[in-house]
Amino acid sequence: MNIPESSLPRVVIIGGGFAGINFARKIANKNVQVVLIDKRNYHTFQPLLYQVSSAGLEPDSIAYPLRKILKNHKNTFFRLAEVESINSEKNNIKTSIGNLDYDYLVIATGTKTNYFGNESIETHGMPMKKVPQALNIRSLILQNFEQAAITNDKETRKALLNFVIVGGGPTGVELAGAIAELKNHILPRDYRDLIPEDMQIYLLEGGARVLPTMSEHASKKAAKFLSKLGVLVHCNTFVKNYDGKKVLTNLSLELQSETLIWAAGVTGNPVKGLQAEALIDRANRYKVNEYNQVEGYNTIFALGDISLMQTDAYPNGHPQVAQPAIQQGELLGKNLIKLIEGKPLKKFKYKDKGSMATVGRNKAVVDLKHFRFAGFFAWFVWMFVHLMALVGFRNRVIVFFNWGYNYINFDKAARLIIRPFRKLNQ
Ligand SMILES: Cc1cc2nc3c(=O)[nH]c(=O)nc-3n(C[C@H](O)[C@H](O)[C@H](O)COP(=O)(O)OP(=O)(O)OC[C@H]3O[C@@H](n4cnc5c(N)ncnc54)[C@H](O)[C@@H]3O)c2cc1C
């Protein structure tokens, strides 16, 4: 892997997501050699993936080169590789470009899409976890519009213009709102040969309300905003089968649709090699103590979505969102240096900064610890928080101008089919 030998302890980080980069930034420039490994050469700001899918932003506004994050830090190296397994007895990892020894290993591999064993959805549904997947969705939506514009068959056109989103969490709600904006503002202008009323957006949620992890207030408001935008919300509805054409649910609801977007769940993305007891099976997450040390190991740590730290306040682990990943990464950055220097470590305590979701172009819901609000001001807060959280000044500026332009012009600038999506069997 061409990493120079050094007298400094080597810290290997697997994954340049929120946890990995915040840990790397804290520990870089200290008396350690840092090697960050990721199978992509960029960090993905997943909260805004839905805007790439719905033609609101280009992918380079929400992705950031990992080498650029490390560029000013001495003793740091980036390698583009997939980590395949860990050999904890030899303090060694196997990757797609060779093996590497470590003194300390930090696993921050996040999650992957969970289809809950439904092969039909895995085969025909559209996941939205990575930039290429978001681009696939964007292409498919626009290709469907193009196809619908040239078809005379009413049923075929209906299936092309029926968009089914599964999962009423923040991702599903935000995506449904953004696709509704396409229907309300882009379709009438760009596709004058189509009737906007022919396009339907369905949001299917298995639980009793959308945004189940937020307050009842937020759920009610979000459902109201979605309905105003024309999104058809169905709660207590599970998808049983999807063959690429027809969606079957647990209820009598059946939908003809060429597009099913799967935003209904994730599961941990562990690396092979650690003992079975280190993993909590049901969640596929590493069991860690309050210092993020993986159970049974002194020199292996897990951070963010892939870790599960059971505390009195969070008996099932922290929520799999950005803040725990960022906070754990920052704390471990300080703790690892203390560990190397033989000093006492600080326990992790999660500071919950609240949760939020946006619905369409000027509405959002926000839950803070002591109060909650919804509507235009909430949307403003949502925008500010997301802009500030984006990695890189350039990305912030680009996203800010894009949002401003889109808001004033009721437009979505990125509606380009750059890389056509080919459906299975086509
Ligand atoms: C569509 C979507 C929307 C979201 N919206 C929000 C939101 O609005 N607010 C919020 O707080 N959270 C949101 N989240 C959740 C949030 O993005 C995650 O909680 C956060 O990214 C977790 O950070 P992490 O560092 O643990 O993992 P990730 O950010 O997922 O990073 C994992 C990294 O590990 C790399 N990797 C994985 N396996 C390997 C391997 N074997 N070898 C090499 N590299 C590997 C991956 O390429 C990736 O770069 C959303 C998630 C998704 C998918």
The mean pLDDT value for 96-119 works out to 97
Give the pocket of ligand 1 (CB within 6 Å): 14-20, 37-40, 46-47, 49, 82-83, 108-110, 128-129, 170-171, 269, 271, 304-306, 320-323, 325
Top mutation candidate among 54, 82, 94, 109 for ligand 1, by most atoms within 8 Å of CB: 109
The mean pLDDT of the chain is 95
Looking at residue 196, the DSSP 8-state letter turns out to be G
The residue type of 194 is L
- Residue closest via CA to ligand 1's atom 12 equals 321
Q: What pLDDT was estimated at residue 424?
A: 75
* CA 390 to centroid of ligand 1, rounded, Å: 14
* CA 262 to centroid of ligand 1, rounded, Å: 16
Residue among 423, 408, 393, 402 at smallest CA distance from 55: 402
Dist. CA 272–CA 288, nearest whole Å: 17
Q: What pLDDT was estimated at residue 325?
A: 98
* CA 410 to centroid of ligand 1, rounded, Å: 30
CB 52 within 8 A of CB 45: no
Residue 423's contacts (CB-CB under 8 Å, 6 or more residues apart) are 140, 244, 258
Q: What pLDDT was estimated at residue 300?
A: 98
The mean pLDDT value for 227-232 works out to 98
* CA 129 to centroid of ligand 1, rounded, Å: 8
- Can you count the helices (H) and strands (E) in the chain? 12, 26
Q: Of these residues, 5, 155, 174, 254, which one is catalytic?
A: 174
- pLDDT over 70 percentage in the chain: 100
Express each pLDDT in 3-34 by its tens digit: 999 999 999 999 999 999 999 999 998 999 99
- The DSSP bridge partners found for residue 44 are 63
Q: What pLDDT was estimated at residue 113?
A: 97
CB atoms inside a 10 Å sphere around CB 31? 12
CB 290 within 8 A of CB 331: no
Atom of ligand 1 nearest to the CA of 307: 26
Q: What pLDDT was estimated at residue 407?
A: 84
* CA 121 to centroid of ligand 1, rounded, Å: 21
3-state SS track over 354-373: CEEEECCCCCEEEECCCCEE
* CA 39 to centroid of ligand 1, rounded, Å: 13
260-287 in b/e form (b: 16+ CB < 10 A) is bbbbbebbbbbbebbeeebbbeebbbbb
Express each pLDDT in 126-145 by its tens digit: 999 999 999 999 999 999 99
Q: What pLDDT was estimated at residue 305?
A: 98
- Residue closest via CA to ligand 1's atom 37 equals 109
Residue 394's contacts (CB-CB under 8 Å, 6 or more residues apart) are none
Cα angle for residues 411, 417, 418 (degrees, 5° grid)? 115
Q: Following DSSP, what letter does each residue of 3-62 receive, concatenated?
A: PPP-SSPEEEEE--SHHHHHHHHHHTTSSSEEEEEESSSEEE-GGGHHHHHTTSS-GGGT
Atom of ligand 1 nearest to the CA of 130: 53
Dist. CA 186–CA 159, nearest whole Å: 19
**Confidence tier at 426 by pLDDT (50, 70, 90):** low
Q: What pLDDT was estimated at residue 425?
A: 64
For residue 190, the number of C-alpha atoms closer than 13 Å in the C-beta half-sphere is 16
3-state secondary structure of 215: coil
Q: What pLDDT was estimated at residue 405?
A: 87
Catalytic site residue 341? Answer: no
Residue 233: burial class (beta carbons within 10 Å; 0-12, 13-18, 19+):
buried
Please give the model's pTM, rounded to 2 decimal places.
0.96
Atom of ligand 1 nearest to the CA of 320: 19
Top mutation candidate among 78, 174, 321 for ligand 1, by most atoms within 8 Å of CB: 321
- Residue closest via CA to ligand 1's atom 5 equals 47
Express each pLDDT in 89-102 by its tens digit: 999 999 999 999 99
